[in-house]
């Protein structure tokens, strides 16, 4: 028997009216069986992870007696197949304690799980179906505290050995600390300071651990650290003196203004590593000559500008100069 004979025989069999009738009956009976099966009610059990949060204070920690709630629902197969059966989110539910009947000042409470029913139904993807929840009550407790971060401000001063000085401002390596306590106590604190002390005889760059003034925040507030690290960049400085010509800023171009003297002697201090980069060209001095600044018998004040940020001006003289105006 070749393959052509087999194909022709199969076609004759499938084309038979008896076979088609049998196939339709089998299909209808399968559909009817599925309809009867899924129309029946069944019991389904779900394990739903739950935890509690305070949306007004996200840092608050809650401890729950039952982190898993058992949910038993009774529904037909179609309800389960097309709703819960397609629900893929089983990561659990967060309940905001502000929406629950709790005394928030007590630090503990008991919540009937009946209050959780709407969100539990939503989590399993069903609505308005008979359900049983176990346990019937959940016990929770929490710390009656709030948390917040506040900036740290330095009040520690430094005294250096002769010729030494801070090359840059003190750098606080921790700029904020965390406070924990009752809300009314935390509201009183917006800054934490280092202790008002003085560190002496500094002659090198140093990493400090500065003590914080914890007395100022109150005994009922706890703090995440009592000391913070800080870095002070220290260099040896030398002094130098340069003569700077004084420029005149005036508003009547037809006038000539002569200054006596027409230069100042400026004493400055600079780190040894920057000494060769500084010259008189790095400084400028000027006076303002205009009617509202000129008074008979008064001298003109000398101003400085363009001072490099790494240069410390010690003094300059004269600070006021005489002048003569001519046309």
Taking the CB of residue 231, how many other CB atoms lie within 10 A of it?
A: 13
Residue 203 reports pLDDT greater than 60: yes
Tokens linked to 21:
């009738």
Residue 5 reports pLDDT greater than 70: no
pLDDT score of 263 = 92
Residue ending a domain, choose from 232, 259, 294: 232
Residue 172 reports pLDDT greater than 50: yes
Residue 78 reports pLDDT greater than 60: no
Q: Which domain holds residue 197?
A: 146-232
The tens digit of pLDDT for each residue in 226-235 reads: 999 999 999 9
Across 109-133, b (16+ Cβ under 10 Å) vs e yields bebebeebeeebbebbbbeebebeb
Residue 273, phi then psi, degrees to nearest 5: -70, -20
pTM of the predicted protein model: 0.51
| Domain shared by 51 and 137, yes or no | yes
The tens digit of pLDDT for each residue in 113-152 reads: 777 777 777 776 666 667 777 787 878 777 667 788 899 9
Give the chain's mean pLDDT: 78
What total of structural domains would you count in the chain? Answer: 3
Whether the Cβ atoms of residue 52 and residue 33 lie closer than 8 Å to each other: no
* CATH, residue 162: 2.170.120.40
Helix, coil or strand: residue 76 = strand
The tens digit of pLDDT for each residue in 261-296 reads: 989 999 999 999 888 888 888 889 998 877 655 656
| Domain shared by 286 and 202, yes or no | no
């Amino acid at each position: 028997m070749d393959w052509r004979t087999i194909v022709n025989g199969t076609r004759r069999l499938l084309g038979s009216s008896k076979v088609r009738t049998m196939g339709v009956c089998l299909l209808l009976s399968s559909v009817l069986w599925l309809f009867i099966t899924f129309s029946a009610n069944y019991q389904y059990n779900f394990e739903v992870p739950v935890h509690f949060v305070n949306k007004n204070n996200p840092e608050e920690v809650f401890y729950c007696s039952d982190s898993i709630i058992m949910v038993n629902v009774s529904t037909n197969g179609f309800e389960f197949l097309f709703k819960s059966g397609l629900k893929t989110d089983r990561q659990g539910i967060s309940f905001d304690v502000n929406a629950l009947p709790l005394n928030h000042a007590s630090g503990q409470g008991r919540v009937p799980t009946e209050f959780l029913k709407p969100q539990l139904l939503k989590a399993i993807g069903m609505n308005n179906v008979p359900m049983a929840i176990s346990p019937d009550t959940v016990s929770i407790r929490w710390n009656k505290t709030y948390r917040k971060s506040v900036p740290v401000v330095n009040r520690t001063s430094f005294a250096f050995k002769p010729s030494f000085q801070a090359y840059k401002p003190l750098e606080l390596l921790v700029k904020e600390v965390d406070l924990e306590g009752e809300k009314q106590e935390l509201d009183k604190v917006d800054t934490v300071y280092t202790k008002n002390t003085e560190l002496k005889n500094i002659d090198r760059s140093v990493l400090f651990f500065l003590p914080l003034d914890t007395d100022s925040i109150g005994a009922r507030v706890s703090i995440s650290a009592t000391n913070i690290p800080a870095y002070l960049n220290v260099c040896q400085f030398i002094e130098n003196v340069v003569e700077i010509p004084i420029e005149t800023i005036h508003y009547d171009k037809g006038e000539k203004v002569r200054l006596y003297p027409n230069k100042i002697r400026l004493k400055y201090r600079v780190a040894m590593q920057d000494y060769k980069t500084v010259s008189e060209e790095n400084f400028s001095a000027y006076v303002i000559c205009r009617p509202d600044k000129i008074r008979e018998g008064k001298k003109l004040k000398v101003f400085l500008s363009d001072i490099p940020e790494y240069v410390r001006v010690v003094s300059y003289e004269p600070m006021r100069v005489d002048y003569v105006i001519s046309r």
